């Protein structure tokens, strides 16, 4: 469960460690050449838009998977560092605090 809020709407959570994921995806060389030509004449760079979108989606999924592998219920305060096109690909960094739901312990009636 990824939550982009800086706090969880329920108070019954325990914050855990900072979880980070770096995802670098390679661009297709042929499409990369076409995007460089488009950059000269202007217009949307659809290949890079799709590449960044896929990289962000994959990085968010990996962030959730990493938190769950460490025994957490999810990640809160998720941030996406500025995705950028690097030579031959796209780089995305995502991070947030892992959390666990705290089980409320009710004691027996003391009356």
| pLDDT, tens only, 17-27 | 999 999 988 87
Residue appearing with tokens 């009356």: 111
- Most confident range (mean pLDDT) of 5-9, 43-47, 93-97 is 93-97
The domains found in the chain, sorted by start residue, are: 2-101 (3.30.110.70)
For the chain, what percent of residues have pLDDT higher than 70?
69
Average pLDDT of the chain, as a whole number: 80
Nearest-5° Cα angle at 20, 14 to 23: 150
Distance CA 53, CA 101 (A): 30
pLDDT the model gives residue 110: 47
Mean pLDDT over 54-81 rounds to 94
DSSP state of 70: T
CB contact at 8 A, 90 and 48: yes
């Amino acid at each position: 469960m990824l939550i982009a809020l800086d706090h969880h709407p329920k108070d019954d959570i325990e914050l855990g460690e900072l979880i980070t994921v770096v995802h670098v995806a390679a661009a297709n060389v042929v499409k990369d050449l076409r995007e460089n030509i488009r950059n000269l004449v202007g217009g949307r760079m659809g290949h890079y838009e799709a590449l960044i979108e896929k990289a962000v989606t994959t990085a968010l999924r990996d962030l959730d998977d990493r938190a769950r592998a460490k025994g957490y219920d999810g990640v809160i305060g998720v941030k996406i560092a500025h995705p950028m096109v690097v030579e031959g690909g796209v780089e995305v960094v995502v991070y947030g605090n892992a959390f666990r739901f705290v089980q409320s312990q009710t004691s027996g009636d003391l009356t």
